[in-house]
Amino acid sequence: MLVSNDKTVADYVTENIKAAHVFKKHGIDFCCGGAISIEKACKKNNVDQTILEKELSEIDKVVDTMKDFDNWGLDFLMVYIENIHHTYVRESLPLISQYANKVAKVHGHHYEEVVKVNKLFHEVANELISHMQKEEQVLFPFIKELIDAKKGNKVYEKPPFGTVNNPIRMMENEHENAGNTLKEISRLTNNYTPPVGACNTFKALYSKLEEFEQDLHQHIHLENNILHPKAIVIEKQLSS
């Protein structure tokens, strides 16, 4: 995005809705109070203008995430999932929560679907927080033990939960539930299409929800289709 002194905060968001997330991150009102310059907004909110402008200029930077995941070591893949996808979820949940609460409060009387979206989002948010903790504290550490045992760095020991299949089955059930909830949110929002004349916060909510669903699809793919099947194979090899 081209940064210019001639544009207001609202102009940036109108030009590219992703700019809303940058302003929100720094506590800058881009909706009702968006008719001011970046310079004034930064001074008003005690924000470093250089940092803000750099983030705005990079919002459309293409990040190549199409990696050859299938050939990665599972230990590296788990680090990637935690650092990229788990971090993304934890950083996005508070932002989307603020958007969803505000849109439901301000526009829920006219657009009943945003009240349902708000409820569904907070349900899936709570589920994902618990879900990621179970992965990071139970499943991923055990898969790491399987990898170490395969390399001969330790002796394989049967886990208290019997087999890796059990936590995997639980995680995949939770993946399906989260995916179905996001699918319902997509349906309620007409594939994240804001109504005509929607305010910038309304647009920002739908934009971020769509991005969130896309990230979740990639996240689930890496686990369901690569990490989990390979972990099951390693355990079978060690058990035989």
Mean pLDDT, consecutive 10-residue stretches, the chain (240 aa), reads 82 85 89 85 93 89 63 94 96 96 95 96 97 97 95 87 95 95 96 92 95 92 93 93
pLDDT at 17: 83
pLDDT at 157: 86
Whether 204 and 20 have beta carbons less than 8 Å apart is answered as yes
pTM, two decimals, is 0.81
pLDDT at 29: 86
pLDDT at 33: 78
- Taking CB atoms within 8 Å and a gap of at least 24, the contacts of 105-113 are 106/199, 106/201, 107/199, 107/202, 111/195, 113/188, 113/189
Distance from C-alpha of 209 to C-alpha of 213, rounded to nearest angstrom:
6
Q: 37 forms bridges with which residues in the sheet?
A: 8
What is the number of other CB atoms lying within 10 angstroms of the CB of residue 71?
8
Both structure tokens of 199: 């305010």
3-state secondary structure of 8: strand
Whether 26 and 47 have beta carbons less than 8 Å apart is answered as yes
Whether 189 and 112 have beta carbons less than 8 Å apart is answered as no
Distance from C-alpha of 185 to C-alpha of 114, rounded to nearest angstrom:
9
